[in-house]
Amino acid sequence: MQTDKIFYNLFQSFPSIFFAIIGKTNVNASIYKFVSVEIKDTAFRIDGVFIPNNESIEQPLYFVEVQFQLDANFYRRFFAEIFLYLRQNPSVNFWRAVVIYPQGSLDPNDQQPYRLLLDSSQVQRIYLDELGAVAENSLQMSIVQLIIASEETAVNQGRDLILQAREQLTDETTKKQIVELIETILLYKLTQLSREELAAMLGIDDEFKKTRMYQSIKQDGLEEGRQEGRQEGRREVKLETVPRLLALGLSVEQVAQALELTVEQVQQAADN
């Protein structure tokens, strides 16, 4: 799973999620822009930097690194990048650093050279598996938790989050962005599923059919049909998918709607 891309999209679309993760829910996220920064004359690149419109002690610049694999030399690289950035950008005075881990076991042991920084308010380490209580009351934080969910529970969580977004959000643009973020996370996590299978498992309705993911499914299907000219073959593929979707807890009606089959066809495929 390409977690860097997921978090980059997440923070660019909804910078408030970052401030919720670090417990700064009172920050006006709209005054920040999130960018990836390449440090001049080096091979260093910082995952992301939240740059405020007007830097101050209340609105510091944030260096953000997402670390989903163990790297024994991570802190040596991370702090080298930060201090090179500060050297090349002398206008920066107020800054914080945030490292996001899926769990504490990936936090490397090589910490002694940076102990004063790591123990200070200058640097914050976030372990996503410890944010469960916070996520219970926050749609955005629940989406972050979806990134580290097991494959066995991810689809059910994703379906619940989509329903929650539809119920809680009134702005149609925001609602669409949230739904597509959930879809993207699940597509990265569940690589063994086709887009059509995932769409069916999430529960397609008229609103969902307007998303980029469903339109892509539909277009792929149309192009395949034009190229091969074998509608019957496509129907057989759908029928072969039916038992798997039913085993995942979808009703006969949901499978029929998602695969554009009749209820009788689904029931017949389930009995065979």
Instruction: Output the pLDDT for position 179.
Output: 82
Q: What is the pLDDT of residue 210?
A: 57
* Residues 255, 125 share a domain: no
141 shares a domain with 215? no
Give a yes or no: residue 99 inside a domain.
yes
Count of the separate structural domains present in the chain? 2
Q: What is the pLDDT of residue 42?
A: 60
Same domain, 132 and 14: yes
Residue that terminates a domain, selected from 128, 148, 168: 148
Residue 178 resides in a domain: no
Q: Are residues 200 and 141 in the same domain?
A: no
- The chain-wide mean pLDDT, for the chain, equals 81
DSSP for 43-102 reads S-EEEEEEEESS--SSS-EEEEEE--S--TTHHHHHHHHHHHHHHH-TT---EEEEEEES
Query: Is 186 part of a structural domain of the chain?
Result: no
Same domain, 214 and 134: no
256 phi and psi angles, rounded to 5 deg: -60, -45
8 domain residue, yes or no: yes
Give the pLDDT confidence score for residue 79 in this predicted structure: 95
pLDDT of residue 229: 47
Asked if residue 237 belongs to a domain, the reply is: yes
Q: Is residue 75 part of a domain?
A: yes
User: Is the domain of 101 the same as that of 205?
Assistant: no
Residue 204 maps to a domain: yes
Return the CATH number at 89: 3.40.1350
* Whether residue 76 is found in the same domain as residue 207: no
Q: What is the pLDDT of residue 112?
A: 96
- Are 201 and 262 in the same domain? yes
pLDDT value at residue 135: 60
Mark which of 148, 181, 209 sits at the end of a domain: 148
Tell me how far CA of residue 178 lies from CA of 10, 158, 162, 214, in angstroms: 9, 11, 8, 15
Residues 17 and 122 in one domain: yes
Does the residue 181 lie in any domain? no
User: What is the pLDDT at residue 246?
Assistant: 73
Check whether residue 229 and residue 111 sit in a common domain. Answer: no
Task: Kindly state whether residues 202 and 130 are assigned to the same domain.
Answer: no
The last residue of one of the domains, among 148, 168, 186, is 148
By DSSP bridging, strand 45-52 and strand 61-66 are antiparallel
Q: Domain residues for 134? A: 3-148
Task: Count Cβ atoms within 10 A of the Cβ of residue 102 and give its class: 0-12 exposed, 13-18 middle, 19 or more buried.
Answer: middle
11 and 144 fall within a common domain: yes
Q: What is the pLDDT of residues 136-157, one digit of tens each?
A: 668 888 888 888 888 888 888 8
- Given a cut of 50, the residues of the chain with pLDDT beneath it are 1, 204-206, 229-230
